């Protein structure tokens, strides 16, 4: 990225020392290119937050902590002290980071600093209960150039008696004391994920969470908080994202003492995690950042961080290929001849990865049977998958395959053999959703079985890509074999075993790529993103609906992971019809895919699509690895405009969409961002819907005078490609 403008930081030798400690005042200063985070050890041993915000450079500025002033017997000082990781104990009544119960029933937990260790960009701080050895290690990792601090905790039972954790959070974050804050978050449901909400933070608690066992469509584990004055490009924004694909919770609390606290980690609902003496539990990581450049700055920072540090392959990962997926074309009706025919047509368009979706295995002719039996259906694929894969490869495409490994239909050989493998309470109903049940991945035998199935598929066939689906949440979360004391460990063990399977698969098959799908965007978070190359953002493929889903998604997640398909009209979700170009221009803002039934396309459709796929290949590095500027929001008016600027600054692409013009009124002028004002750019309208006819324009003109696109009809769209003239 071309930022890190902070001269102060360079002057202070930041990159040599992102973590500093002043022993005289017992204060820590963690600094990145965009933020600083400060905390200190108070005289009573509590570890407390001092500051989070724009970069500070002088460690000497930080004061030694003193006890807060007690207001009354009802407002003890602890309530006003911003503890980094508050235990539930003493006179603390707010959301704790850790709540335990010891075997003897004692639940009091007051944590004090013991020691710390700084190693490069890592800081570990040890805390311990004032009486016994309930030991916490707080892990801080600073990503100096990327503007992110990661936090997590390890909770260890160093006492001689068992204890049970009732709530374990990764971190508590504090905004500077004040009021008037606004919370932005992503909520939704199936086929309407990642809708952006921004609302005032009032006294009390707002809970964002999943109780469903997966990340969920309901909320995405991300937040942004501003002081009520931020917009896309300016204003202070504090943000965070939790790396956990199971039950998670983020609480946003405003206290009567002008504190705004965000606490996040495992969902404490139905949580119970026993630790025998010597055992420990690691929380997920909670990543936090600060931007003084509004919501746009915050999301660009997070995207950059995801690309560099979260996604497999990091900055060097290959660009996402153009994909074809069979689902909307054929649903369960897949067979060798039909898929070969589609593959031939997809290859002619320039598709690089052909993915066969649901329906290829077991007795899978609809969603009532077959899940669990991961062998090719002999009627549909009499000679196995090899002939199809060979033909896909011969067409110059990689092959991808859909699986839903965590699930089983009652009508399957697997369930007939292992009815005890599903999540259930003995003697209670096993609710089916989409006529399927959930295998208990927390069990090691189930984990080994699933790994074995996938390993065999990846070994037997040259599969480049697995689309890993999960089409229902967990329910009746019993684990009879674990016993009543331990069975609620399922919530954690399930996810850890999921991660383990993915990690092992990737290690054993290094060229295998994986897509995370959960009926669309039900499993998108920084935990799964460490292990997958793409995610399916929504089952909703209506291009207009997608504009908002994608805009919300882009608050938290990078474009390169967002699989987006062009599908047929009228769209199955809402019956809407928009032009093929419109559908392509929406989908090209992620990892482009095609999910249409190519057998029904006209010659004109093929011509348009071939042109669009070629365009995508020219601009995808800019979209996938560049900076996103959301110029006009799909929530604000009838114009949506997004601009991407390539990481090397040499190319920029503007996408513009209009959904319902009236009175033949023109669209507003679009002023671009992120360009070099002194550079010249070659201006290429993809379809002559641009008022400006100058072949080249300066960055200054593009950003100050702006461009005028001509979008007349309803659901009209265009794109402009700008290439820097050297
Ligand atoms: C849900 C996914 O989101 C779809 O893309 C498709 O893979 C179906 N499952 C298949 O059952």
Of ligand 1's listed atoms, the one at least distance from the Cα of 357 is 7
User: Rounded CA gap, 279 and 415, in Å?
Assistant: 34
Whether 239 shows a pLDDT value over 70: the answer reads yes
* Ligand 1 close to Cβ of residue 517 (< 6 A): yes
- pTM (global) more than 0.85: yes
Whether 203 shows a pLDDT value over 90: the answer reads yes
What is the 3-state secondary structure of 2-43?
Answer: CCCCCHHHHHCCHHHCCEEEECCCCEEEEECCCCEEEEEECC
Pocket of ligand 1, candidates 330, 333, 467, 471: which has the most ligand atoms within 8 Å of its Cβ, to mutate? 471
pLDDT for res 662: 87
Report the Cα 394 to chain-centroid distance in Å. 35
Average pLDDT of the chain is 96
pLDDT for res 713: 86
Of ligand 1's listed atoms, the one at least distance from the Cα of 367 is 11
Residue-wise pLDDT tens digits, 131-186: 999 999 999 999 999 999 999 999 999 999 999 999 999 999 999 999 999 999 99
DSSP state of 500: H
pLDDT for res 16: 64
* Ligand 1 close to Cβ of residue 328 (< 6 A): no
Whether 2 shows a pLDDT value over 90: the answer reads no
pLDDT for res 472: 98
* Ligand 1 close to Cβ of residue 520 (< 6 A): yes
- Specify the length of the chain in residues: 726
CA torsion, points 197, 202, 204, 208, in degrees to nearest 10?
10
Instruction: Report the relative pairing of strands 651-658 and 716-725 from DSSP bridges.
Output: antiparallel
CB 281 within 8 A of CB 154: yes
Whether 13 shows a pLDDT value over 90: the answer reads no
- Percentage of the chain modeled with pLDDT above 70: 98
- Of 398, 539, 542, 616, which one is the catalytic site residue? 539
Residue-wise pLDDT tens digits, 650-666: 999 999 999 998 898 99
Residue-wise pLDDT tens digits, 443-493: 999 999 999 999 999 999 999 999 999 999 999 999 999 999 999 999 999
**Centroid of ligand 1 to alpha carbon of 530 (angstroms):** 22
Which domains occur in the chain, in start order? Answer: 18-310 (2.70.98.60), 322-530 (3.20.20.70), 631-724 (2.60.40.1180)
**Centroid of ligand 1 to alpha carbon of 289 (angstroms):** 34
User: Rounded CA gap, 249 and 614, in Å?
Assistant: 43
* Ligand 1 close to Cβ of residue 404 (< 6 A): no
CB 547 within 8 A of CB 529: no
Instruction: Report the relative pairing of strands 148-157 and 286-291 from DSSP bridges.
Output: antiparallel
pLDDT for res 726: 86
366 noted as active-site residue: no
Please name the residue whose Cα sits nearest to atom 3 of ligand 1.
519
* Ligand 1 close to Cβ of residue 284 (< 6 A): no
Whether 418 shows a pLDDT value over 60: the answer reads yes
Lowest mean pLDDT: which of 348-352, 634-638, 639-643, 702-706?
634-638
Burial class (CB in 10 A: 0-12, 13-18, 19+), 15: middle
User: Rounded CA gap, 424 and 477, in Å?
Assistant: 6
User: Rounded CA gap, 326 and 343, in Å?
Assistant: 9
- Percentage of the chain modeled with pLDDT above 90: 96
pLDDT for res 10: 44
469 noted as active-site residue: yes
Residue from 493, 625, 608, 612 nearest 559 by CA: 625
What is the 3-state secondary structure of 136-186?
Answer: EEEEEEEECCCCEEEEEEEEEECCCCCEEEEEEEEEEEECCCCCCCEEEEE
Pocket of ligand 1, candidates 192, 214, 357: which has the most ligand atoms within 8 Å of its Cβ, to mutate? 357
Q: Find the mean pLDDT for residues 281-298.
A: 98
Please name the residue whose Cα sits nearest to atom 5 of ligand 1.
539
Whether 43 shows a pLDDT value over 80: the answer reads yes
623 CB-near residues (< 8 Å, 6+ apart): 559, 560, 588, 589, 590, 644, 653
Lowest mean pLDDT: which of 9-23, 236-250, 333-347?
9-23
7 pLDDT tier (thresholds 50, 70, 90): very low
Q: Find the mean pLDDT for residues 519-547.
A: 98
């Amino acid at each position: 990225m071309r930022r890190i403008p902070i001269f102060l930081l360079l002057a202070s030798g930041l990159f040599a020392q992102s973590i500093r400690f002043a022993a005289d005042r017992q204060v820590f200063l963690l600094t990145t290119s965009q933020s600083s985070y400060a905390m200190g050890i108070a005289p009573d041993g509590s570890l407390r937050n001092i500051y989070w915000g724009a970069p500070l450079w002088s460690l000497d500025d930080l004061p030694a902590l003193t006890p807060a002033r007690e207001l009354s017997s009802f407002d003890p000082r602890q309530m006003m002290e911003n503890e980094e990781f508050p235990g539930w104990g003493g006179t603390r009544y707010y959301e704790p980071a850790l709540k335990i119960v010891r075997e003897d029933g004692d639940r009091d937990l007051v944590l004090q600093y013991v020691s710390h260790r700084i190693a490069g960009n890592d800081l570990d701080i040890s805390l311990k209960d004032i009486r016994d050895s309930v030991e916490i290690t707080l892990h801080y990792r600073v990503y100096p150039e990327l503007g992110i601090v990661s936090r997590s905790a390890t909770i260890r039972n160093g006492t001689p008696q068992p204890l049970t954790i009732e709530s374990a959070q990764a971190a508590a974050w504090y905004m500077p004391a004040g009021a008037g804050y606004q919370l932005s978050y992503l909520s939704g449901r199936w086929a309407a994920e990642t809708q952006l909400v921004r609302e005032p933070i009032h006294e009390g608690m707002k809970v964002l969470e999943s109780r469903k066992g997966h990340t969920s469509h309901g909320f995405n584990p991300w937040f942004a908080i501003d002081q009520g004055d931020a917009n896309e490009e300016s204003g202070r924004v504090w943000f965070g994202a939790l790396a956990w694909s199971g039950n998670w919770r983020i609480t946003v609390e405003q206290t009567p003492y002008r504190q705004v606290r965000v606490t996040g980690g495992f969902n404490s609902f139905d949580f119970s995690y026993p630790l025998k003496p010597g055992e420990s539990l690691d929380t997920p990581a909670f990543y936090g950042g600060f931007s003084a450049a509004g919501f746009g700055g915050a999301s660009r920072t997070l995207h950059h961080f995801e690309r560099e540090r979260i996604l497999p392959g990091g900055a060097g990962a290959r660009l996402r290929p153009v994909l074809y997926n069979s689902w909307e074309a054929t649903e369960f009706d897949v067979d060798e001849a039909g898929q070969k025919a589609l593959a031939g047509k997809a290859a002619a368009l320039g598709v690089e990865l052909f993915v066969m979706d649901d329906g290829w295995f077991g007795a899978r002719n609809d969603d009532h049977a077959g899940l669990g039996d991961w062998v090719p259906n002999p009627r549909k694929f009499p000679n196995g998958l090899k002939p199809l894969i060979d033909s896909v490869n011969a067409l110059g495409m990689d092959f991808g395959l859909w699986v839903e490994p965590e699930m089983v239909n009652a009508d399957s050989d697997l369930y007939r053999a292992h009815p005890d493998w599903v999540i259930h309470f003995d003697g209670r109903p096993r609710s089916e959703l989409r006529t399927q049940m959930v295998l208990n991945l927390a069990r090691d035998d189930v984990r080994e079985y699933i790994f074995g199935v996938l390993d065999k598929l990846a070994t037997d066939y040259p599969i480049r890509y697995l689309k890993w689906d999960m089409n229902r949440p967990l329910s009746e979360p019993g684990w009879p074999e674990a016993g009543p004391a331990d069975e609620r460990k399922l919530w954690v063990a399930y996810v850890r075993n999921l991660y383990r399977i993915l990690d092992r698969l990737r290690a054993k098959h290094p060229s295998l790529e994986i897509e995370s799908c959960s009926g669309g965007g039900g499993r998108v978070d920084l935990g799964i993103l460490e292990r997958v190359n793409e995610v399916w953002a929504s089952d909703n493929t209506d291009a207009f609906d997608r504009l908002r889903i994608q805009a919300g998604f882009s608050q938290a997640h990078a474009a390169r992971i967002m699989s987006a398909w062009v599908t047929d009209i009228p769209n199955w979700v809402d019956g809407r019809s928009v032009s093929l170009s419109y559908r392509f221009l929406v989908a090209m803002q992620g990892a482009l895919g095609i999910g249409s039934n190519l057998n029904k396309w006209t010659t004109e459709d093929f011509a348009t699509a071939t042109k669009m796929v070629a365009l995508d290949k020219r601009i995808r590095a800019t979209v996938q690895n560049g900076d996103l500027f959301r110029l006009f929001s799909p929530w604000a008016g009838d114009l949506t405009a997004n601009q991407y600027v390539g990481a090397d600054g040499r190319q920029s692409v503007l996408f513009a969409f209009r959904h319902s013009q009236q009175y033949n009124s023109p669209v507003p002028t679009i002023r671009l961002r992120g360009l070099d004002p002194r550079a010249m750019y070659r201006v290429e309208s993809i379809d002559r819907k641009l008022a400006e006819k100058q072949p080249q324009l300066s960055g200054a003109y593009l950003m100050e005078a702006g461009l005028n696109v001509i979008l007349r009809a309803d659901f009209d769209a265009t794109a402009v490609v700008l290439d820097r003239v050297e």
